[in-house]
């Protein structure tokens, strides 16, 4: 059956199903849904855990063997599979075999990007719907982001003034992972105190001299040397490569969409208003990048984003993630 994220807690309280599939293109929300399932499984004694990362050469027999083998350390175990794309490939057969007769001592947790639409018509997915749970995670609409951010802050015990909330929304522009990290930093700085502009900026300055938003702005503006300097500083300070990538992907998407808007006869102001892009520095950088970068270079940048994502998630161990990010910055800041 299909269960939306807000309904997941109630479903887990009622029972644990033999398998869960969590898919979507918002890493933070996918991670949090998986954490809910892991916590529920742990409470019921599923302590042993085996994790598989898939790629195009992945041997799915490993998953079948693991789900059918006896547990070495406890009577109950979790088997987690992290998909590298929205098409499971040979994993379809492994899922069907598992669901034909699910072991009572195993819970299978599969997570990954949004499923390809063609998968919904295949036999493995129909079987999954009958015997297991699918949790589809959808992006937060740009118009709903301020409410999402306010609710997230309230849930973390933070009290934002209206103007502080507006400033955060303009800085974060819908990046959920970066938003969560920003709120965690503010939590350390403010404690139980209300957060106004001064407290918010103190939190940002205290956590890092630079941030992913400045990095993206400098890269799109063509300031290569400074952008690479910011990237080195972010690496030294232990920032999340996925959070940085999320900002770069968002702004690259804005850039490409702006180029398409120009071709259809719309001007920049119309595009920025329709896309909820209000921050002047971001508008300027996106416009500069859209005028400077060719469609070919944008396609190269898209492919580099995919490579950074795979490296950051451990799917490609041959590629150092910070080197991949540096190559992406070179592309975005070039001509």
pLDDT at site 255: 95
Residue range of the domain that includes 191 = 140-207
* CATH code of the domain covering residue 170: 1.10.8.60
Regarding whether 150 and 274 lie in a shared domain, the answer is: no
Q: Which of 14-28, 171-185, 214-228 has the lowest mean pLDDT?
A: 171-185
- Quickly state the pLDDT bin for 74 (edges 50, 70, 90): low
How many domains does the structure of the chain reveal?
3
Phi/psi at 116 (nearest 5 deg)? -60, 140
Percent of the chain topping pLDDT 90: 57
Q: Which of 117-126, 159-168, 184-193 has the lowest mean pLDDT?
A: 184-193
Task: Note the pLDDT tens digit of each residue in 93-126.
Answer: 999 999 999 998 999 999 999 999 899 999 999 9
Task: Note the pLDDT tens digit of each residue in 265-284.
Answer: 999 999 998 888 877 888 99
Regarding whether 157 and 125 lie in a shared domain, the answer is: no
pLDDT at site 71: 59
Task: Note the pLDDT tens digit of each residue in 200-249.
Answer: 665 544 444 467 888 999 999 999 998 998 998 888 878 889 889 999 99
- Cβ neighbors of 227 (< 8 A, separation 6 or more) are 215, 218, 219, 329, 332, 333
- Cβ neighbors of 24 (< 8 A, separation 6 or more) are 30, 113, 114, 136, 137, 138, 139
Helix %, strand %, coil % for the chain, to 5? 60, 10, 30
Which of 189, 207, 225 is the last residue before a domain boundary?
A: 207
Regarding whether 217 and 192 lie in a shared domain, the answer is: no
Q: Which two tokens stand for residue 122?
A: 């295949």
Tell me the pairing of strands 133-137 and 48-53.
unpaired
Regarding whether 130 and 81 lie in a shared domain, the answer is: yes
pLDDT at site 94: 95
Task: Note the pLDDT tens digit of each residue in 270-329.
Answer: 999 888 887 788 899 999 999 999 999 999 999 999 999 888 888 877 889 999 999 999
Mean pLDDT for the chain?
A: 88
Q: Please state whether the predicted TM-score (pTM) of the whole model is above 0.75.
A: no
Regarding whether 165 and 105 lie in a shared domain, the answer is: no
Cβ atoms of 227 and 255 within 8 Å: the answer is no
Which of 180, 207, 234 is the last residue before a domain boundary?
A: 207
- Quickly state the pLDDT bin for 69 (edges 50, 70, 90): confident
């Amino acid at each position: 059956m299909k269960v939306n994220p807000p309904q997941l807690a109630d479903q887990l309280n009622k029972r644990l199903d033999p398998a869960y599939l969590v898919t979507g293109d918002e890493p933070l929300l996918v991670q949090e849904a998986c954490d809910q399932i892991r916590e529920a499984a742990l409470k019921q004694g599923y302590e042993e855990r085996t994790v598989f990362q898939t790629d195009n050469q992945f041997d799915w027999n490993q998953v079948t063997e693991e789900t059918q083998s006896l547990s070495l350390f406890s009577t109950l175990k979790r088997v987690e599979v992290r998909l590298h794309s929205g098409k499971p490939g040979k994993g379809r057969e492994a899922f069907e075999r598992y669901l034909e007769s699910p072991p009572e001592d195993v819970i299978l947790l599969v997570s990954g990007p949004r499923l390809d639409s063609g998968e919904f018509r295949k036999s493995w997915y129909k079987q999954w719907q009958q015997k297991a749970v699918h949790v589809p995670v959808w992006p937060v609409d740009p118009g709903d982001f301020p409410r999402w951010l306010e609710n997230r802050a309230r849930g973390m015990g933070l009290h934002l003034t209206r103007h502080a909330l507006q400033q955060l929304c303009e800085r974060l522009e819908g990046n959920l992972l970066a938003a969560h990290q920003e709120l965690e930093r503010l939590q350390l700085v403010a404690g139980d105190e209300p957060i106004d502009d001064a407290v918010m900026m103190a939190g940002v300055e205290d956590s890092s001299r630079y941030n992913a938003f400045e990095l993206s702005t400098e890269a799109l503006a063509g300031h290569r040397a400074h952008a690479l300097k910011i990237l080195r500083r972010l690496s030294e300070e232990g920032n999340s490569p996925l959070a940085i990538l999320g900002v770069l992907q968002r702004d690259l998407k804005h850039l490409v969409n702006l180029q398409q808007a120009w071709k259809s006869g719309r001007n920049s102001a119309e595009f920025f208003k329709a896309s909820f892009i209000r921050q002047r520095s971001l508008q300027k950088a996106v416009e500069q990048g859209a005028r400077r970068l060719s469609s070919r270079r944008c396609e190269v940048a898209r492919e580099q984003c995919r490579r950074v994502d795979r490296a950051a998630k451990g799917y490609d161990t041959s590629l150092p993630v910070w080197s991949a990010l540096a190559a992406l910055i070179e592309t975005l800041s070039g001509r």
